C-alpha cells in the first residue's frame, strides 16, 4: 500500500512552464523503508508489547486462540466476545491511520483514505499508538477516536485491518451497523481526562541508558501531562495535522525554519526571560558569601537590595536611550520576583515538591525540558529529521547536567519556570499539573527519575 520513495524538488505547472517549489528537505534527508509497522510474530504467548494497550489486545487474542468450544454456535459467540473486548479497548484510546503526506489535510473531510482492495472487501489499515514506526517523511499518521473513524471512513469501506503484520491483528467489519456500535462504545469508554496526567513508559523500542534516553527523560513532566510515553524516540503525538496545529497555536511554529529557530533558542536558554535566572543567581552569590551555600538562609531584604543595586549598576554603563521610559517599572518587576520565588518555594515545600531545606537553584530546566519536547514535536511534524531530533535531545541532556544537580533539582526548576510563565501565583492547573507530575515521577518504579541516573559518566555512548 505504501513504500518509501525519494523525492527531490517538485515542479508544478503554472501555465508559463514549470516553476521550482521549495524542497522538502526532511524528505530528502530522512527517507527510509519503515513506513508501516512490521513486527514479527513470536512464539505464542511470548511477545513483550510496547505498551499496555497492545499487551491487552495481544492477551485477548492469545486467550481466544487457546480456547476450545463444543460447537459452532459457542465458537461464534466467543468470537463475538473477542471482537467486543477488542473494540472496547480501542474505544478508550486513539487509533492511527496512515496517509500519504499529500493526501491528508487538517480538514478530515478532505483526506483521501488509503483503501486496500482485497478478496474480502475494501479495507483501511488502522494502528494503535505503541506500534507506530519511526516517523516517515512521506507516509504520515492521523489520529482518530473510534467515533471519528466511524464518521469519517468512506461509506464504501467494508472493514478496518487493525495492527496488521503485528502480533495483535484483527479484521473488523465497518458496515453501518458496526459503526453504530463503535459510536456507542466511544460514548461509553472514551475519557479525555483519563488519558492525561499519567506516566507512560514504553516496554520496547526505547533507547538504552545514555545521553539520548537522559535527554528524552527531560521531557517527562510534559509527557506526563499529555499522557505520552516519555522514552519514545519515534514521536507521532496526536497525528500530523494536530501536531501542526499545536505547534502553531502554542509556539507560532509553522515550518521547518521556525522550528529550527525555536529549537535553537530553547537549547540556548533564550526564551525564558534572562532576569529570572539573574534573580536566582543573585541569591546564590549571597548564599555563598553569607550562609555557606544554604540558599534558603539568605535574608529576603538583602536579596531584594542586591537585585536592585546590581540592575542599577549595570544600567549606569548604558547609554540613556537604551534604558527606555519603562526602566523603573522593569526594576520594580524584577525586584518583585524575589517575593514570587519565595512564595512559590514555600508552597513547593509544603506540597513536597521541594525538600524542607532546599531552594530552586536554576530555571534552566524550563527551557531545556521544553527543548527536549520541541525536538520530538518537530520530528513528529516533519520539520526535523531523526538525526536533528536526536542531536537536540542529547544537547539538552548535556546542558541540563551542567545546570542542575539531580532530578528533584531539575523538577523544581521546571515547575518554577512554568509557574512564573503561566500561573501568576494562582496555584491553579498550571501548578497542580506539575505537582502531580512530580509526585508520580518521584514514586513510580518506571519513572526515569528512578531508572535513569541524572549524572551520566563522561564518555557514555549515545544509545538507541
pLDDT in tens, 102-119: 999 999 999 999 999 999
> Which whole number is the average pLDDT over 79-101?
97
pLDDT at 5 over 90: no
Among 25-34, 158-167, 209-218, 321-330, name the one with the lowest average pLDDT.
321-330
| Residue 458 banded pLDDT, cuts 50, 70, 90 | confident
Query: Is pLDDT at 11 greater than 60 in this prediction?
Result: no
The per-residue b/e assignment along 129-146, b for 16 or more CB within 10 angstroms, e otherwise, is: bbbbbbbbbbbbbbbbbb
- Burial bucket for residue 71 (CB in 10 Å: 0-12, 13-18, 19+): exposed
pTM of the model: 0.91
How many residues would you count in the chain? 464
Which range (12-16, 367-371, 447-451) has the least confidence? 12-16
Average of per-residue pLDDT across 250-277: 98
Average pLDDT over every residue of 78-99: 97
Q: Tell me what the mean pLDDT of segment 189-202 comes to.
A: 93
What integer is the mean pLDDT of 41-49?
A: 90
10 Å CB burial of residue 7 (0-12, 13-18, 19+) is middle
pLDDT value of position 414 = 98
Check whether 8 has a pLDDT greater than 60.
no
Q: Confidence band (pLDDT; 50, 70, 90) for 309?
A: very high
pLDDT number for residue 323: 75
The CATH number of 35-190 is: 3.40.1350.90
Q: Are 240 and 378 in contact (CB under 8 A)?
A: no
| Block residue for cell numbers 524550563 | 366
- Reference 2, options 241, 165, 236, 244; nearest CA is 165
pLDDT at 161: 98
Structural contact between residues 173 and 180, judged by C-beta atoms closer than 8 angstroms: no
Instruction: Retrieve residue 355's grid coordinates.
Output: 525538600
Choose among 169, 171, 172: nearest CA to 181.
172
Chain-centroid distance of CA 188 in Å reads: 27
> What pLDDT digit, counting tens, does each position of 352-395 carry?
999 998 999 999 999 999 999 999 999 999 999 999 999 999 99
Burial class of residue 459 (count of CB atoms within 10 Å of its CB; 0-12, 13-18, 19+): exposed
> Is the pLDDT assigned to residue 428 strictly greater than 50?
yes
pLDDT at 439: 98
Q: Is the pLDDT of residue 348 over 70?
A: yes
Instruction: Report CA Rg, the chain.
Output: 26
CB proximity list for 398: less than 8 A, separation 6 or greater: 211
Of 250 and 291, more confident: 250
pLDDT band for position 396 (cuts 50, 70, 90) = very high
Give the model's pLDDT for residue 325: 79
- Evaluate if residue 281 carries a pLDDT over 90: yes
Residue 460 is predicted with a pLDDT of 61
* 45 pLDDT above the threshold of 60: yes
Model confidence band, residue 7 (pLDDT cutoffs 50, 70, 90): very low
What is the predicted pLDDT for the residue at 464? 54
Calculate mean pLDDT across residues 191-208.
Answer: 94
Residue ranges covered by each domain of the chain = 35-190, 211-272+364-451, 274-351
pLDDT band, residue 195 (cuts 50/70/90): confident
Amino acid at each position: 500500500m505504501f513504500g518509501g520513495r525519494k523525492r527531490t524538488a517538485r515542479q508544478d505547472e503554472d501555465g508559463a512552464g514549470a516553476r521550482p517549489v521549495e524542497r522538502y528537505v526532511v524528505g530528502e534527508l530522512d527517507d527510509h523503508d519503515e513506513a508501516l509497522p512490521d513486527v514479527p510474530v513470536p512464539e505464542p504467548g511470548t511477545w513483550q508489547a510496547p505498551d499496555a494497550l497492545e499487551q491487552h489486545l495481544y492477551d485477548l487474542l492469545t486467550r481466544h486462540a487457546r480456547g476450545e468450544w463444543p460447537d459452532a454456535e459457542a465458537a461464534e459467540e466467543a468470537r463475538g466476545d473477542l471482537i467486543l473486548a477488542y473494540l472496547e479497548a480501542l474505544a478508550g484510546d486513539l487509533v492511527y491511520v496512515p496517509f500519504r503526506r499529500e493526501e491528508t489535510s487538517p480538514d478530515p473531510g478532505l483526506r483521501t483514505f488509503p483503501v486496500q482492495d482485497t478478496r474480502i472487501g475494501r479495507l483501511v489499515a488502522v494502528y494503535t499508538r505503541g506500534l507506530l514506526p519511526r516517523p516517515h517523511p512521506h507516509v504520515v499518521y492521523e489520529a482518530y477516536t473510534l467515533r471519528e473513524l466511524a464518521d469519517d471512513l468512506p461509506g464504501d469501506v467494508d472493514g478496518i485491518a487493525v495492527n496488521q503484520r503485528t502480533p495483535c491483528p484483527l479484521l473488523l467489519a465497518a458496515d453501518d451497523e458496526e459503526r453504530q456500535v463503535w459510536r456507542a462504545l466511544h460514548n461509553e469508554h472514551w475519557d479525555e481526562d483519563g488519558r492525561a496526567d499519567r506516566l507512560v513508559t514504553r516496554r520496547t523500542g526505547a533507547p538504552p541508558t545514555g545521553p539520548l534516553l537522559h535527554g528524552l527523560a527531560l521531557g517527562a513532566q510534559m509527557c506526563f501531562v499529555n499522557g505520552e510515553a516519555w522514552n519514545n524516540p519515534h514521536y507521532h503525538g496526536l497525528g500530523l495535522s494536530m501536531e501542526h496545529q499545536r505547534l502553531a497555536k502554542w509556539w507560532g511554529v509553522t515550518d521547518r525554519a521556525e522550528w529550527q529557530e525555536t529549537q535553537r533558542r530553547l537549547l540556548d536558554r533564550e526564551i525564558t526571560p534572562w532576569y529570572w535566572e539573574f534573580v536566582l543567581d543573585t541569591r546564590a552569590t549571597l548564599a555563598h558569601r553569607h550562609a555557606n551555600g544554604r540558599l534558603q538562609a539568605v535574608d529576603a531584604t538583602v536579596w531584594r537590595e542586591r537585585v536592585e543595586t546590581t540592575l542599577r549598576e549595570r544600567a549606569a554603563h548604558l547609554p540613556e536611550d537604551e534604558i527606555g521610559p519603562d526602566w523603573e517599572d522593569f526594576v520594580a518587576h524584577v525586584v518583585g520576583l524575589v517575593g514570587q520565588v519565595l512564595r512559590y518555594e514555600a508552597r513547593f515545600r509544603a506540597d513536597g515538591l521541594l525538600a524542607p531545606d532546599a531552594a530552586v537553584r536554576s530555571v534552566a530546566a524550563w527551557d531545556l525540558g521544553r527543548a527536549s519536547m520541541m525536538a520530538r514535536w518537530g520530528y513528529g511534524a516533519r520539520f526535523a529529521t531523526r538525526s536533528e531530533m536526536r542531536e537536540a535531545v542529547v544537547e539538552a541532556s548535556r546542558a541540563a547536567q551542567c545546570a542542575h544537580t539531580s532530578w528533584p533539582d531539575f523538577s523544581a526548576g521546571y515547575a518554577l519556570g512554568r509557574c512564573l510563565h503561566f500561573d501568576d501565583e494562582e496555584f491553579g492547573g498550571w501548578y497542580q499539573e506539575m505537582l502531580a507530575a512530580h509526585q508520580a515521577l518521584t514514586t513510580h518504579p518506571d519513572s526515569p527519575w528512578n531508572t535513569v541516573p541524572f549524572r551520566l559518566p563522561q564518555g557514555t555512548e549515545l544509545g538507541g
